[in-house]
Amino acid sequence: MSDTLFNIEDNQESSMVFLNQYADNADIVLECNDSVEFTKKLQTDSIQLIITSPPYNIGKSYETRVSIQEYLDTQADLINELVRVLNPHGSICWQVGNFVDKGEVFPLDIYYYPIFKEAGLKLRNRIIWYFGHGLHASKRFSGRYESLLWFTKSDDYVFNLDDVRVPAKYPNKRHFKGDKIGALSGNPLGKNPSDFWGQLETDFDIGMWDIPNVKSNHIEKTKHPCQYPVELVERCVLAMTNENDIVYDPYAGVASSLIAAAKHGRKGFGVDRDNDYIEIGTDRIHKLLNGTLQTRPIGKPVYEPTGKEKITQIPIEWAQNERSAYK
């Protein structure tokens, strides 16, 4: 591990470190520890991208549910430390959904925004990540999106738009008036992917044909209950960092962010306090390094059912009855 990045006098016994084994330049550091404790060991201004999905305080196996205020106070302590280690040209991407208490919904991005703002960061996008499947609600509409808050530390930040453009819907569209009449109006590299990210929906759609729990059929699924797709992180890595930069996930889970970083020649640092997840993450990184890790390819086209598939047909039992029979 480079001592320019770490205060190496700290105890590193639990770290699992892989140096320069992938793409000649990607160092991976994954440690079982508390995120605040680990972040304190990182050097000021050293990280280009911090990307994570924190615990939502909803009573998952890896968290202790507390009041929303206590939860936010704890998060603010970590966020202040994260801002310290963030490079002046760097970004933080905070991916969250809702905290729900007795049926009342608290959108976490609304609660987090003032904490980041107070810490001096500037919001660049509130990205909506929508997906086609999930729990079915009965007392409100089913939730089908989460958000990703993208903040920068300054106005001079890395944004490689050309590296994340997506194919234009109408590449042959031309100007129809003015000086440029007849000339192509689009960019040959594609269009800006916008702040509404839905291509990841296919991850879950693909599993739909075989088993009801679509998430368990996802190509990247491990035993972690809340991992996010590597592709979601890849777009941020490509847009907000350059090769050899450090990407850091303070709630690394099974190392999805580190995998996205290493795939693109960036260094990946991560911490999680659950050793089971660290072991799975370590195994995934080994698989990435030896070429056997399966991840959904970035930009894979969305699968659309044709309507002819058996599973898309109205079942005979439903077709025979009036709609009122089910109310």
Catalog residues that contact ligand SAM under the rule CB under 6 A. Answer: 34-35, 53, 55, 62-63, 224, 226-228, 251, 253-254, 256, 271-274, 277
Residue 54 to residue 246: CA distance in whole angstroms: 19
Bridge partners, residue 267, by sequence? 246
Per DSSP, the three-state class of 44 is: coil
Which residue, 34 or 283, is less far from ligand SAM as judged by CB? 34
Report the nearest approach of ligand SAM to the CB of residue 204 (Å): 15
Report the nearest approach of ligand SAM to the CB of residue 168 (Å): 31
Report the nearest approach of ligand SAM to the CB of residue 259 (Å): 9
Which residue, 35 or 282, is less far from ligand SAM as judged by CB? 35
Which residue, 89 or 267, is less far from ligand SAM as judged by CB? 267
Angle at 321 between CA 317 and CA 322, to 5 degrees: 145
Which residue, 34 or 163, is less far from ligand SAM as judged by CB? 34
Which residue, 94 or 228, is less far from ligand SAM as judged by CB? 228
Residue 205 to residue 302: CA distance in whole angstroms: 9
For residues 6 and 248, the answer to whether their CB atoms sit within 8 Å is no
CB atoms within 10 A of CB 69: 9
Report the nearest approach of ligand SAM to the CB of residue 142 (Å): 20
Which residue, 224 or 266, is less far from ligand SAM as judged by CB? 224
Q: Which whole-number Å values give the CA distances from 272 to 53, 73, 211, 247, in the listed order?
A: 12, 19, 31, 15
Report the nearest approach of ligand SAM to the CB of residue 229 (Å): 8
Residue 294 to residue 43: CA distance in whole angstroms: 33
Phi, psi of 185 (to 5 degrees): -95, -15
Which residue, 35 or 91, is less far from ligand SAM as judged by CB? 35
Q: What residues contact residue 222 under an 8 Å CB cut-off, 6+ apart?
A: 254, 280, 284
Report the nearest approach of ligand SAM to the CB of residue 62 (Å): 3
Q: Which whole-number Å values give the CA distances from 306 to 76, 198, 287, 303, 310, in the listed order?
A: 47, 19, 35, 9, 10
Report the nearest approach of ligand SAM to the CB of residue 295 (Å): 12
Which residue, 148 or 246, is less far from ligand SAM as judged by CB? 148
Residue nearest to ligand SAM (CB): 253
Judge residue 165's burial from the number of C-beta atoms within 10 Å of its C-beta, 0-12 exposed, 13-18 middle, 19 or more buried: middle
Report the nearest approach of ligand SAM to the CB of residue 108 (Å): 12
Angle at 222 between CA 22 and CA 95, to 5 degrees: 80
Residue 146 to residue 97: CA distance in whole angstroms: 5
